Structure 1
């Protein structure tokens, strides 16, 4: 059950991704052909592979991670707070920095990772991009040979499914129905590519990513039937302490 895990042992996270290149014509011919084949089942007949390339960021083979935001609970004299920080910039560096975080601060068997739809998106995406860049997987992402109950991952969407494998619920919808105050986001996931490549505004994306981490933590608290975080309890930090 969700309430059996100590909050301070959970690392909440969210990633933002974009197509690896800003436009389809920057891809080499082989990659263009592979993209056309990969995306064919999702494209309508009248939509070309080039027109559909805006969505390439959702596939780790054709996209890249531009930021990973993480949040964690701390307790000092029974006072609860939630700290958030973000790894961003060059993908290889941010992946290595995230790996270092896991190995230095969240490497014990008691530690788990939590994300919304993380088992289908965030966790495998990070692992695939690490392998693509030749970065050895940290234990928390290396699932080879592990039994289902040994996998240190929590997925708030999976918890909400209650065994209904057909059911998809967005983080925004879950927050709404659970009575969690909606964060003041000025973008959504469909806008990230344009904000990154056209507006060159990574800070705006980081803010959006961090708000999703906070919302995921709030959803998890509601699933445990615990009180929500207040504004005073949330702190932005530059690194773990």
Structure 2
């Protein structure tokens, strides 16, 4: 495992203003969402909006450095504009060059970040350079599907075959991790509208934590860490989360779901049958 590691996830809403501009709509705000959804269904047969129209409302990450220290963080619309969220996140890559870990990041998170950064006139060569500035990036950059600077777990675990893509929630549950913690539906728009910022960041951070735990299991499979090191990382993660009050529910559900498989039951030996 190459340190530092940055596991990340984003949450988004439809950018009504950009959508209205793109399609030449002159409608009240309350009508734009339905109009944009209808257009999208006609275009692609889905409600899932085009990537450039995803406005970022939260970016969460888990930073793990060479010493094993962890830091869970979120930049959200509670305190920052979208441009400020992006600026803060992109500045990480100006200082360090972490191994980036995501779930579906190559098809969703990074393209959305690219489009929205361009929309706000931001520059991010440390993340998007493919060798034009740093020649070493030709052989190991964050965009190339088969490089290792960005590990999109959904992609690599499907062996780069879209027919094998799996949902983060399903794989997390399968391996004995919390997954979405019983949350049914996508409540991010409601969280933002009602200013439930803690729920928003907790939700995004939960996806980051599930991705981190799956990454540990993937690293064990690949032989990049030993079985004993895997257990040490699991215990370090549990210890860290015990000091994160906003993730108390995640930790409690992890304790329960870990007992569903023989291997993950070792994560909490005091509760094992």
TM over 0.5: yes
**1:184 positional shift:** 6.8
The corresponding residue for 1:239 is none
1:88-237 mapped onto 2 (5 Å cutoff): 88-89=76-77, 90-104=81-95, 106-107=96-97, 111-143=98-130, 146=138, 148=144, 149=146, 152-180=149-177, 182=178, 185=181, 187=183, 190-197=186-193, 199-225=194-220, 226-227=230-231, 228-229=234-235, 230-234=237-241
Which structure has more relative contact order (CA 8 Å, sep 6+)? It is 1
Secondary structure of 2:157's aligned partner: helix
Listed one character per residue, the Cα deviations across residues 181-220 of structure 1 (whole Å, up to 9, x for unaligned) are: x1574645622112222x2212211110011111110000
Distance 1:158 1:28 in 2: 33
Distance 2:24 2:88 in 1: 28
Structure 2: 5+ residue runs without aligned partners? 27-34, 133-137, 221-229, 245-273
Query: Structure 1 residues 142 and 18 mapped into 2: Cα distance closer, same or farther (>3 Å)?
Result: farther
Secondary structure of 1:204's aligned partner: helix
Distance 2:93 2:185 in 1: 26
Secondary structure of 1:135's aligned partner: coil
Secondary structure of 1:40's aligned partner: helix
Residue from 58, 63, 70 that aligns with 1:82: 70
CA RMSD of aligned residues (A): 3.1
Q: Which is richer in helix?
A: 2
Conserved 8 A contact 1:131-1:137:
no
Q: Which is richer in strand?
A: 1
Listed one character per residue, the Cα deviations across residues 116-140 of structure 1 (whole Å, up to 9, x for unaligned) are: 0111011111111101110012322
**1:233 positional shift:** 2.6
Conserved 8 A contact 1:86-1:210:
yes
Distance 1:18 1:124 in 2: 15
Query: Scaled by the length of structure 2, what TM-score is found?
Result: 0.66
Aligned residues: 209
Query: Structure 1 residues 64 and 134 mapped into 2: Cα distance closer, same or farther (>3 Å)?
Result: same
Secondary structure of 1:41's aligned partner: helix
Secondary structure of 2:125's aligned partner: coil
**1:39 positional shift:** 4.0
Distance 1:188 1:17 in 2: 17
Conserved 8 A contact 1:112-1:140:
no
Distance 1:188 1:143 in 2: 39
Q: Runs ≥4 in structure 1, deviation > 6 angstroms? A: none
Query: Scaled by the length of structure 1, what TM-score is found?
Result: 0.74
